[in-house]
Amino acid sequence: MLDGVGVEDTRVLVAGGAGFVGSNIANHLAADNEVLVVDDCYLGTPANLDDSVELYDRSVLAEDLPTDVDVVFHLAALSSYAMHEGEPQRGARVNVEGFVNVAEQARKDGCDTIVYASTSSIYGNRTEPTPEDAAVAVNTGYEASKVARERYAEYFSNHYGMSLAGLRLFSVYQGYGGTEAHKGEYANVIAQFADDIANGEAPVLYGDGTQTRDFTHVSDVVSAAVRAAEGGLTGVYNVGTGQSYSFNTVVELLNDELGTDVAPEYVENPIPESVYVHDTCADFSKLRAATGWEPEVLFEEGIKRVCSGY
């Protein structure tokens, strides 16, 4: 069963399931379902997974993937600007071809429900809650790969009648006390700043620290993904909180929670201003209308959870 609702003994595949978000989904579902994970462990680690999860050490580009399942959650991706600018061909292969490969094998094996990760970065700079029908643009290879993924999902839905729900995720975090630790420099800034401050080191902020993010706790992303699968949703849906906080505020709240007074270090932004997303904020009303989903972890509570391990 998916989270106690729906078909019993559901067989689930999580592509990229040893990574940060994927492992949270896999571990959450493993209590009541048969959960398989495909991951080549380039960005994931087996240590993230519960013992009951069956791990296949394979790339999403491989043939003969274990797609004879009821539901696929596709989280596999090269997930940063730097990774794509360094190796654009590899980024396209993993994020686009890998997605198509998994979806096509799932289709042939009779699975017609896929929930996959897209990104909020394609909205660009937005200080007000942004709905899914807002204009999107592609300024990086990472963003291009996620838009291509959405278009291929549309193809599989329109041509084959499959249910494919794309989740445009807004700044997902958990902290190094969860399964985010292995990401290191690619972890969410909340996790990085908390670890720096807890160890008496100055967190490094790009620019003046006024950039804002709609920070979304990973547990809320898990519940959104599960509800999207249970509802057999098709299309794209924002997963965020509708509230944004600046990096300066993050540092201030982390210091308050940790009982420290570590000042940040401000440096020149190494990412070109023309492609850097300065502000994000989600309008999640479409997902709420379709499933009843709402974020449950308020930002202050999320900060406490991140800091609890210290």
> Which are the catalytic amino acids?
142
Instruction: Kindly report the number of other CB atoms within 10 A of residue 21's CB atom.
Output: 25
What would the two tokens of residue 242 be?
């509708």
Q: How far apart are CA 308 and CA 303, in angstroms?
A: 9
Q: How far apart are CA 85 and CA 142, in angstroms?
A: 8
Find, among 13, 115, 113, the residue nearest to 62 by Cα: 13
Q: How far apart are CA 275 and CA 140, in angstroms?
A: 7
Distance spanning both ends of the chain, measured CA to CA:
35
Encode burial over 258-286: b for 16+ CB neighbours within 10 A, e otherwise.
Answer: beeebebeeeeeeeeeeebbbbbbbbbeb
Q: What is the DSSP letter of 41?
A: S
What is the DSSP pairing of strand 245-246 with strand 212-213?
A: antiparallel
Q: How far apart are CA 81 and CA 185, in angstroms?
A: 12
Residues 6+ apart with CB under 8 A from 252: none
8 Å CB contact between 9 and 33: yes
